[in-house]
Structure 1
Amino acid sequence: MTRRSRLSPRVRVWLVAGLSLVGGYVIATARQVVVRPPLVLGQDAVSGPQSREARVTLEQAGGSVIRVRPVTGEAGTLLVFYPGGLVRPQAYEWLGRALAARGVETVIPVFPLDLAVTAANRADALIATYGAGKRVVIAGHSLGGAMAAQYAARHAGRVQGLILMAAYPAGNVSLKGQSLPALSLLAERDAVADPAAVRGGLERLPDGATLTVIPGAVHAFFGRYGPQKGDGEPSVSRAQAEGDILNAVTGFLGRL
């Protein structure tokens, strides 16, 4: 004899509806991760006349990579930039373009699912392809910064500088003892990267690492990808914050 369900028809309807909503949310979230927006170069990336002149190409070096070069002359510095988690790499093209006017070449790799954690050693191929005769600096935003720090920690001597933007080394990663200049940038109103964790991360960076606070900025101001859920409220314009970020980065590179 089969046991009849003790759930009333109304409860069964609500249960089915609830499961459908949960299933739809899971599918939608998974789709956002797996199906990434198109890679479009030059979209919302120009900051001024000099920035517009930079040479930007999509190339292959262990996978797709955005390469940003000065319009004339050879760059003396190669900046390998790891994007933030689930952020399309073109969001950081603005920085590469701005630095190109200062003689810096920037390469921004495209990671599987836009997650640097899927290929933390990607810098190997980029340095081999583009780094000959150049001073190499690795940088990253948020999760990309954590992976950049991991790469620098595990490949001592391969890079000559480290820049973290709203990021810090993971708890099991330490660069103490390395003779490696390092810069940590903290957005003053960041509500995504815990400011205490960013400051605490200095304890796992090389001695002499410096922390620079970007006044009034938020987490999403490091890349041009729009507002980020859970982020703070900025008290300055994006243009002002980007100017402060650029000044901090160029000042750091100039001291290497």
Structure 2
Amino acid sequence: MRKRSEMMKKNRSKKIIIWIVSLIGIVTIIGYLLINMNTYGASKEAEIVSQQAEEEDNYTFYASGEANALGLIFYPGGLVEPDSYSLWAKQIAQAGYDVYVMHFPLNLAVLAPNRAQEIQNKHPEQSFVLAGHSLGGVMASRYIAANPKSIAGMIFFASYPDEKGALTNSSIPVLSITATNDGVLNQATYEEAKQYLPKDTIYEAIEGGNHAGFGSYGVQKGDKEATISNEEQQAIISQLLIEWLNTLA
């Protein structure tokens, strides 16, 4: 009787373990599908341009063709495909700056915030600026806060640092770009976060641009309608970046 009871307990335990594992698997699959359903894909134009760049495992490289050029490591916005940023990235590369658009698990920089280190390790002779859109900017600033001496500058695209990514004690130059028709960026939080930025931070606002216009991936939930074309916003972004990067080179 005792052996039979022990066998029944073991079988019950196995069934419970199998049930738990199956449940975790189902939840994981559902979560993965939901994330993919809510991911913003690049426009056809952006996809075509990105295909001209060098695709690596964890990033897309837009080469300037210049030896030891200043590099820009970019963290995409949350749930936005990296190819969405190819239009301005190509223009920056043509201006003489290498651009590395990072890839993240599930398109979420929060899942691999230190991925910029991979680029720095591969190119120890090169200087880098970090940049990020929305959630990507928050994660990029955290990386700089943890590695203050290894980055030459920071650019925020409709983004800001949180307390963990505070740059107030950093001497690096910072550029913050927003858009007047951005319906996604929390303006109150953005203003409050200025306390974590250097006093000499440069602020630029794109008149008529919106949150999704920092890339090329269509309409984003909660965003306002832009009064300028995506092409025009991409051109303005490129101009602002090039002018600012020229002050560092």
TM bucket (normalised to shorter chain) is 0.7 to 0.9
- Identify the residue that residue 137 of structure 1 maps to in structure 2: 129
Cα distance, 1:142 vs structure 2: 0.4
Which secondary structure does the structure 2 equivalent of 1:45 belong to?
helix
Aligned pair partner of 2:63 in 56, 69, 92 = 69
Q: Give, in whole Å, the separation in 2 of the partners of 1:233 and 1:119.
A: 31
Aligned pair partner of 1:228 in 198, 215, 220 = 220
Q: Give, in whole Å, the separation in 2 of the partners of 1:215 and 1:75.
A: 34
CA change 1:54–1:68 in 2 (3 A) is farther
> Which portions of structure 1, spanning 4 or more consecutive aligned residues, are displaced by more than 6 angstroms?
26-29, 35-40
Cα distance, 1:28 vs structure 2: 6.7
- Identify the residue that residue 165 of structure 1 maps to in structure 2: 157
Aligned residues: 221
Cα distance, 1:73 vs structure 2: 3.3
Percent identity of the aligned residues? 32
- Identify the residue that residue 54 of structure 2 maps to in structure 1: 57
Cα distance, 1:155 vs structure 2: 0.7
Once the two structures are superposed, what CA deviation does each residue of 1:68-110 show, in whole Å capped at 9, x if it has no partner? 102x432511110000001111111212211111111111121
Structure 2 counterpart of 1:110, which letter? Answer: H
- Identify the residue that residue 101 of structure 2 maps to in structure 1: 108
CA change 1:91–1:156 in 2 (3 A) is same
- Identify the residue that residue 33 of structure 1 maps to in structure 2: 35
Cα distance, 1:196 vs structure 2: 3.0
Q: Give, in whole Å, the separation in 1 of the partners of 2:47 and 2:246.
A: 23
Cα distance, 1:37 vs structure 2: 7.3
Once the two structures are superposed, what CA deviation does each residue of 1:168-220 show, in whole Å capped at 9, x if it has no partner? 11244311121110011111110101223223322201231111001100000
Which secondary structure does the structure 2 equivalent of 1:203 belong to?
helix
Q: Give, in whole Å, the separation in 2 of the partners of 1:27 and 1:187.
A: 36
Larger fraction in helix: 2
- Identify the residue that residue 155 of structure 1 maps to in structure 2: 147
| More contact order relative to length (CA 8 Å, sep ≥ 6) | 2
2:242 equivalent to 1:245: no
- Identify the residue that residue 8 of structure 1 maps to in structure 2: none
Cα distance, 1:38 vs structure 2: 11
CA change 1:76–1:95 in 2 (3 A) is same
CA change 1:238–1:79 in 2 (3 A) is same
Maintained 8 Å contact 1:58/1:67: yes
Cα distance, 1:133 vs structure 2: 2.8
- Identify the residue that residue 44 of structure 1 maps to in structure 2: 45
2:246 equivalent to 1:254: yes
TM-score (norm 1): 0.78
Cα distance, 1:247 vs structure 2: 1.2
- Identify the residue that residue 14 of structure 2 maps to in structure 1: none
Structure 1 counterpart of 2:80, which letter? Answer: V
